[in-house]
Structure 1
Amino acid sequence: MRIIACALMFSAAIAATAQQKPIILHDAALVDGTGAPVRPHVDITLHKGYIDSVKPAFKEAPKDAEIVDCTGKTVIPGLISAHSHLGILLDNATPSPNAYTTENVTKALDQFERYGVTTIVSLGVNRDLVYQLRDQQRNSKLGGATILTAGRGIGVPNGAPGLNVASDQIYRPGTPDEARKDVDDLAKNHADLVKIWLDSGHGKIPPMKPEIYTAVIEQAHKHHMKVAAHVYTLADAKSLVSADVDIFAHSIRDQAVDPGFAQTLIDHKIWYIPTLTLDEAFYLYAQNPDVMHSAFFQQAAGAELLAKLQAPGYAEKTLASAQTEQAKKDHEIAMKNLKTLYDAGVNIGFGTDSGAVPGRIPGFSEHRELEDLVAAGLTPLQAITLATGENGRLLHEVNSKMSIGLIKNGYSADLIILSADPLMDVRNTRKIVAVYHHGVLVPNTPPQN
């Protein structure tokens, strides 16, 4: 037995023995993901990749365990993003149809994990390579954030998603029969869920026809797969409720929602993932360049994206654009609708659309989303609970083998050790001392400043 200070936990020896020898995170303040108040002076035992016990701090250290002194530290569950993307951008900066490679995808997964995002849903726009990478993870042959995936996803011919990706990253059925075949293909590959895009991009592109998305949803449910929908307007959302959709993958942003709509979501057990950072990312770095000054941000963004965001004229051009004006309006409505739906008791998930376009940055955007949730009116505890326990509940519905999001006996040992209290200031989730994923210490966590 020996005691190791949290600040010195980056030892490869600890990571190598994490699965064989119990690790006790000793005397931590625990935020367990359930929404319960913080529990002081707690010992959390990790063994063979799982939480073995959670109990009051010992007075006499047990033998044959690695003891990690967490006095003065807070432990929270690993964050979960139920809406992210892989293999769309090169170096977080440049959309490319050549971006979906093993090297690029695994680099993003590693970045998510280092920033404490231990599980992601790659919600569409994937090459079939994603199934191989997911299987490698499940056979303990690949690291990084745990992948769940919607495979390619189902879009619209000449419509959404309007991304610069390869043709084999998205299905675009023209008929209901083609849509059903695409769902069958997803099921054959054991996709975790199905993603659809149907909106018209403010009337600039053709929307998905109702007979197409109805066929997708019906066929997915025959395969016992849930369907997540890219949504923007309240009218589309109401139509999707009638078609029995399972998840809204974005906020409704064209108008305010009302209590009646909230009750409809509750009655149909539909999940709502607000992705508040989605619209904000279009203008955040131009409007508030101080965001870019921290090493925590800079390491996540990378040199190429930083160069774009700090280029002469970038801020002026961005703030003067019509897209920015619309994005600000959309962000404001999204914030208000999130609070309305949360207060009504709708199932709220957590995601960011990170990895889809430059500025939505794997790892960083998830911490920014927590900040936005608090700005929308949630408490830090409520925001963290959405990103952990509630998202774990959502993903358990998607895949019943997933037990993540809580620091509780039998759950995957996915945790973040923080040097400051996130319930006092949610930005303290960025003060990462260590990340454990499946009970293994993650190397190279980001700088805290």
Structure 2
Amino acid sequence: MGWRSKEKQAGQGLSRLLLAGVAASVIGLGGTAGSARAQQAQASSPVVLEHVRLFDGTGAAEQDDMAVLVQGSRIVSVGHTGKLAVPKGAKRIDLSGKTLIPGLISNHSHVGVVSGTSVGSQNFTAPVIKGALDQYERYGVTTVTALGLTKSPLFDDLRQAQHADGSAGADLFGVDQGIGVPGGMPPEGMVKVGKDQIFRPATVAEAQQAVQTMAREHTDLVKLWVDDFRNGVASQKPLPVMKPEIWQAVINEAHSQHLRVAVHIHDLDYGKRLVAAGADIIAHGVRDEPVDGTFIAALKDRGVWYIPTISLDEATYLFAEQPEILNDPVLKAGLSADLQKQFSDPAWRQKTASSPLAKASHAAVAMNQKNLLTLYKAGVKIGFGTDSGAAPVRIPGFAEHRELRLLVQAGLTPLQALTLATSQAAALLNLSDRGVIAPGKRADFVVLEADPADNIAAVDQIAAVWRGGVRAAGPLVPR
């Protein structure tokens, strides 16, 4: 369904990196650690992780005293400890008392938009993006989908480099540029990205040309912003909204190029209209009113994916209303000095907490959670994402941990929430090589000190992160 061959892309991308001279700078960011990971990924010696509680990502119940055999970047076999055939000379790692889960997968994030408290085109650099990908990995997010606001060819080259075995940081997929509205979403005064990071077509022909350009750049998806940016604040002046003929032209052209379309919406009305127009992915939850039977039926009949991104609105007020969270070592692991200073400022907290947007965001979270549970129970295909990296308060990695909590607060069990963030998120991306712990899959997984089935907060207790068969990071919080 339009998802490019990862192996073909990786080969083409790495060739471009060498020709452009970018590879040296990308690899150099990882230093000797990056080289060591590449060498370890190529090593043939098998590794067996044993005596571990296993959540395989399929939604099945956990299994105790399990063993996972890894060779190179892949899982070779999975079975009960003592019954699994282990090759002579394999390295054994005893994980007694710990839980193994698949690496988390984000279907909606952004890279190169934010650095500290700054937002803008100046942040779309290899060091900033690699820093974010490393941070995602430390939090157990091993695959990230950047939904637009990107710049070619840098994004394309970085994306292909991340696909290679042994690369440091989260694997990277996503949207080249994306398609917004002249004078509208995403708001130029807030996002401050360059004109080469987003298309804003005014005509059908320009819309078609934008999609064609993205297709030539081998974008994984096409992204549309369709929203007036009021965010539930009645007094907020609405921004211009994309005209139906533009969004229809984008969707039609994308489908002719065998590309799927993800759409930014806030309100149910636009959700219905975009699904009717052929959108493939609703990239944010409906937050203005309860979803109805018509919308549910349309999502199911057309096989449309739905990404709630509940933590997006929570982040608007969380750090202002709960200053004690600054003492959380899990937050500190991903908090820049600039953000620490901002969150510690009483004036900032007062202004943020008393704003109309904070009140509206509380309502949006509650509505989003209600709609998520309704859609989940109805059998709609649900993905996992947060919009992390699009604003300073949406902190890479930490936002994904918050999203899991909010999914559970909405009524899902911890293992149901984790299933969305692993196998379901992989299915949304049409990636059959990850998201579950099973033979033949990528060895992307997270070792937890505690059992998330008992309490989803166990995802904070990361002992180690493995990506592509290599121990990449951990613990998240030094002991």
TM range (shorter): over 0.9
Partner of 1:186: 214
What is the aligned-residue identity percentage? 43
AA aligned to 2:354 is A
What's 1:432 paired with?
462
**Contact 1:115/1:445 (<8 A) preserved:** no
Pairing partner for 1:169 from 197, 200, 214: 197
Question: 1:340 & 1:270 partners in 2: Cα distance?
Answer: 15
Write the letter of the residue equivalent to 2:210.
Answer: D
Q: How does 1:6-25 map to 2 (within 5 A)?
A: 16-18=39-41, 19-25=43-49
Distance verdict in 2 for CA 1:153–1:176, change over 3 Å: same
Query: Secondary structure of 2:79's match?
Result: strand
Residue 423 of structure 1 pairs with residue 429 of structure 2: no
Change in Cα spacing, 1:25 to 1:15, as seen in structure 2 (3 Å) is farther
- Matched residue SS, 1:29: strand
> What's 1:224 paired with?
258
Deviates more, 1:59-68 or 1:23-32: 59-68
Give matches, 1:23-38, under 5 Å. 23-38=47-62
One of 135, 148, 168 as aligned partner of 1:143: 168
What's the offset of the Cα at 1:418? 0.5
Measured after TM superposition, the shift of residue 295 of structure 1 is 1.6
Q: Runs of 5+ in structure 1 lacking a partner?
A: 1-9
2:416 matches 1:382? yes
**Aligned 8 A contact 1:15 1:441 in 2:** no
Please tell me whether the aligned partners of residues 296 and 447 of structure 1 are also in contact (alpha carbons under 8 angstroms): yes
Asked whether the 8 Å contact 1:133–1:142 carries over to 2, the reply is no
Distance verdict in 2 for CA 1:14–1:187, change over 3 Å? closer
Please give the per-residue CA displacement for 1:291-326, whole angstroms capped at 9, x wherever unaligned. 221221112012111110111222221111111111
Asked if the contact 1:296/1:448 (under 8 Å) is kept, the reply is no
**Does the C-alpha gap of structure 1 residues 412 and 26 become closer, same or farther in structure 2, counting only changes over 3 Å?**
same
8 Å contact from structure 1 (residues 432, 448) kept in 2: no
Correspondent of 2:396 among 347, 358, 362: 362
| CA separation of 1:367 and 1:448: change in aligned 2, threshold 3 A | farther
Tell me which residue corresponds to 2:133. Answer: 109
Name the counterpart of 1:49.
73
- 1:303-314 maps to which residues of 2 (within 5 A)? 303-314=337-348
CA distance in 1, matches of 2:205, 2:166: 38
- Which of the residues 244, 252, 257 maps onto 2:286? 252
Contact 2:285–2:309 (CA under 8 A) maintained in structure 1: yes
Aligned pair partner of 1:342 in 373, 376, 379: 376
Q: Deviations over 1:221-262 (max 9, x none)?
A: 111111000011111111111111000000111111123321
Deviation at 1:140, TM superposition (A): 4.5
Q: Deviations over 1:395-440 (max 9, x none)?
A: 11xxx5x511000111111000001001111010110011100111
Q: Deviations over 1:86-111 (max 9, x none)?
A: 011112x2112200001101110111
Q: Give, in whole Å, the separation in 2 of the partners of 1:139 and 1:24.
A: 23
Once residues 76 and 195 of structure 1 are traced to their aligned partners in structure 2, the CA distance between those partners, rounded to angstroms, is 30
- 1:446 matched to 2:449? The reply is no
For the aligned residue pairs, the C-alpha RMSD in angstroms reads 1.8
CA contact (8 A) 1:434 1:441 kept: yes
Q: What is the number of equivalent residue pairs in this alignment?
A: 434
3-state DSSP class of the match of 2:296? Answer: helix
2:319 counterpart (276, 282, 285) = 285
What residue is the counterpart of 1:324 in the other structure?
Answer: 358
Contact 2:165/2:468, CA 8 A, preserved across alignment: no
Distance 1:267 1:448, change over 3 A: farther
TM-score by length of 1: 0.93
Is the contact between residue 351 and residue 366 of structure 1 (CA under 8 Å) also seen in structure 2? yes
Q: Is the 8 A contact 1:259 1:344 kept in 2?
A: no
CA contact (8 A) 2:276 2:298 kept: no
CA contact (8 A) 1:263 1:344 kept: no
Are 1:233 and 2:267 counterparts? yes
Partners of 1:157 and 1:86 lie apart in 2 by 22
One-letter identity of the residue aligned with 1:409:
P
**Which of residues 267, 280, 301 is equivalent to 1:267?**
301
Q: Distance in 2 between matches of 1:418 and 1:283?
A: 29
* Distance of 2:441 and 2:455 partners within structure 1: 27
**How much does 1:199 deviate?**
0.8
Q: What SS is found at the alignment partner of 1:71?
A: coil
For 2:442, the aligned partner's letter is S
Note the C-alpha offset of 1:288: 1.8
* Structure 1 Cα separation of the partners of residues 132 and 37 of structure 2: 24
Residue 143 of structure 1: how far off its partner (Å): 2.4
SS in 1 for 2:290: coil
Q: Is the 8 A contact 1:45 1:51 kept in 2?
A: yes
1:15: how far off?
Answer: 8.2
Contact 1:295 1:448 in 2 (8 A): no
Instruction: Give the letter for the 2:211 counterpart.
Output: V
- Work out whether residues 120 and 148 of structure 1, in 8 Å CA contact, stay in contact via their aligned partners in 2: yes
Whether the aligned pair in 1 keeps the contact of 2:69 and 2:86 (CA below 8 Å) is no
For residues 2-56 of structure 1, give each alpha carbon's deviation from its aligned partner in whole angstroms, at most 9, with x where no partner exists.
xxxxxxxx9x989853542111110111000000000111111111201111111
Query: Where does the alignment leave 5 or more consecutive residues of structure 2 unmatched?
Result: 1-32, 231-236
In structure 2, what is the Cα distance between the partners aligned to 1:312 and 1:260? 46
CA contact (8 A) 1:421 1:428 kept: yes
Whether the aligned pair in 2 keeps the contact of 1:246 and 1:270 (CA below 8 Å) is yes
Is residue 2:95 matched to residue 1:70?
A: yes
> 2:27 maps to what in 1?
none
Q: What is the deviation of 1:448?
A: 6.4
Q: CA deviation at 1:138?
A: 3.1
Of 132, 137, 147, which residue of structure 2 is paired with 1:123?
Answer: 147
Asked if residue 412 in structure 1 is aligned to residue 442 in structure 2, the reply is: yes
Q: CA offset at residue 139 of structure 1? A: 4.1
